[in-house]
Chain A
């Protein structure tokens, strides 16, 4: 029972973004995928639900090879692995409640009233019940993120992927998102993979860290290993220093 990356390569044309990624996540773990902007963190996690296919290598979810299955079979994996997108990706044309109801209505054979009840319970869980009738354009980024999390939880996923969940949020909203992540790892025993470069989030929430650097997982391990690491690249990233050996693409 885990998500496993085995020697994953991914090229975009002549640009080699990933050149041999290896990592794994178990249920209940909170793995933070960290690294500088544009290094391929989001690219990495999009492989898990088949939004991108590896150029070579293996990606498997609970023993099923995601890189091998057809688009149709992918939909069963996507029910098991939910994703919270960077800009939330709520559907503009639907109200917040309808956004959460949509996947339930599509996948679970429930009566309308039960679908609604389940969606309301989820919105309540993220503290958005009183805004259920509003539309995504009428609320702020932090609230949108919370609804996106509720929607991601609608099918009781075994794993949840977060693409930069705290980027662009104010510190208070960001910490609320962090505690929601911790809550669903402990209460639902979900495996969480979080792409982030928010140091506060990383140190308060992570149980495990994987650092992407130059196309590979530079280092993967429990948070203590990173605290005690003497590697200059890791030290530079964790201290947020501008001087050091680290190469930042685009700068």
Chain B
């Protein structure tokens, strides 16, 4: 019994410690943004690295997600004979929920964990101390450019992903679910609104922010050499996934 209480207490203290660390990081990022003081070269480099290099994985994910959604929609629709609803169902689900969440998770896996690994390696090989020793603020040189690029890039990648997912849905609708393209398109274009797309894109922006903050925090607090880096990446993706799902809940509520 005593052990259990001690464990709960320890867990609570840990949670407070981590939350405090994240908030402190957030505060430092905001402080570096007003007035904006960050390295423009690093910002552009990260935009390229995080954006362009994630395109293949985002396209692959979105394409199959579209396929899965149209299959699921048609399981439902076939029993009711309402083929005209497939385009609407797939579009609505992809734009508002499944698209942003799955793309956010994949982005966290690709870019977020890579970011944690990179920062963590810099910590254990004393490169962060090296920056400080050269009189360069790691906040302005490393963190702020990364946070900004991740928010911008997940937003833009989600736009690409949305388009690809709909293409995938239409294609697999024809191939597997017996839905003609015309039927898919009519149903899609008549029932899916700009508001649905905007709903998803706002989420994407917030998810990008969450991924950026959790991955930078996990990276900067690495301890214990190469082994510690692996552990930090693990923590980063788990925290990001929790953050994405929980914020999705609140966003869905407040955006509707």
Contact = CB atoms under 8 A, between A and B. Distances in A.
Interface of A: 46, 49-51, 74-76, 78-79, 81-83, 85-87, 89-93, 102-103, 106-107, 151, 154-155
25 contacts: A46-B129, A49-B132, A51-B129, A75-B135, A78-B132, A78-B133, A78-B134, A78-B135, A81-B133, A82-B133, A82-B134, A83-B130, A85-B130, A86-B126, A89-B125, A89-B127, A90-B127, A91-B122, A91-B127, A91-B130, A91-B131, A93-B45, A102-B136, A103-B135, A106-B135
A246 to B, nearest CB: 28
Residue in B129, B130, B141 with the greatest tally of chain A CB atoms within 10 Å = B130
A85 B137 contact: no
A86 B129 CA distance: 11
Contact of A92 (B127, B131, B141): B127
Contacts of B135: 75-76, 78-79, 103, 106-107, 155
Interface residues of B, number: 17
Contacts, number: 60
Contacts of A90: 127, 130
Contacts of B130: 83, 85, 89-91
A115 B126 CA distance: 25
A78 B134 CA distance: 6
A102 B126 contact: no
Contacts of B134: 78, 82, 102-103, 106, 151, 154-155
Interface string B200-230: 0000000000000000000000000000000
Interface string B126-165: 1101111111110001000000000000000000000000
Nearest to B42: A93
A138 B136 CA distance: 25
Nearest to B127: A89
A85 B126 contact: yes
Contacts of A50: 132
B108 interface: no
A164 B176 CA distance: 66
A76 to B, nearest CB: 7
A49 B136 CA distance: 12
A51 B136 contact: no
A49 B133 CA distance: 7
B137 A87 contact: no
Contacts of A81: 133
B115 interface: no
Contact of B133 (A83, A91, A92, A93): A83
A87 B125 contact: yes
Nearest to B130: A89
Nearest to A83: B133
Contact of A51 (B118, B121, B125, B132): B132
B136 A87 contact: no
B193 to A, nearest CB: 43
A49 B125 CA distance: 18
A49 B134 CA distance: 10
